[in-house]
């Protein structure tokens, strides 16, 4: 690969991974994952199993939904959904703390 192509790839990588949207999605993903796993770990075994079973069923439905989609479209939609769920969880937590 010539130097021009390498520079172009570096610039594309830098632009993609240094923008505000990327940072927001990564923050939301990390926050949602860590909080979810902490809360799940504190649940009683029976409740934890029920939650995991529902999550598995939802995962299957999501997989069926994105099956046949362009992988880029599916990935972007799932990332946007993660961000939206994290914001919903944060609003609910804020409402509970005010109550």
In the chain, domain spans = 3-98
- pLDDT averaged over the chain? 86
Tokens of residue 23, six digits: 């940072």
pLDDT category at 10 given cuts 50, 70, 90 is low
Three-class DSSP category at 1: coil
21-60 pLDDT, tens per residue? 778 888 889 999 999 999 999 999 999 999 999 999 999 9
Nearest to 51 by CA among 40, 42, 60, 62: 40
pTM for this model (two decimals) = 0.67
Contact 89, 29 (CB under 8 A): no
Nearest to 63 by CA among 52, 76, 78, 82: 78
Treating both helix axes as pointing N-terminal to C-terminal, what angle do 45-66 and 71-98 enclose, rounded to 10 degrees? Answer: 140
């Amino acid at each position: 690969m010539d130097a021009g192509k390498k520079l172009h790839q570096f610039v594309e990588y830098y632009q993609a991974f240094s923008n505000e949207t990327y940072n927001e999605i990564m923050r939301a993903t990390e926050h949602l994952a860590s909080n979810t796993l902490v809360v799940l770990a504190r649940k009683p075994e029976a409740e934890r199993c029920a939650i995991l079973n529902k999550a598995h069923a939802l995962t299957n439905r999501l997989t069926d939904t994105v099956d046949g989609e362009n992988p880029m479209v599916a990935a972007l939609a799932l990332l946007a959904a993660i961000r939206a769920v994290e914001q919903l969880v944060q609003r609910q937590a804020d409402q509970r703390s005010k109550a």
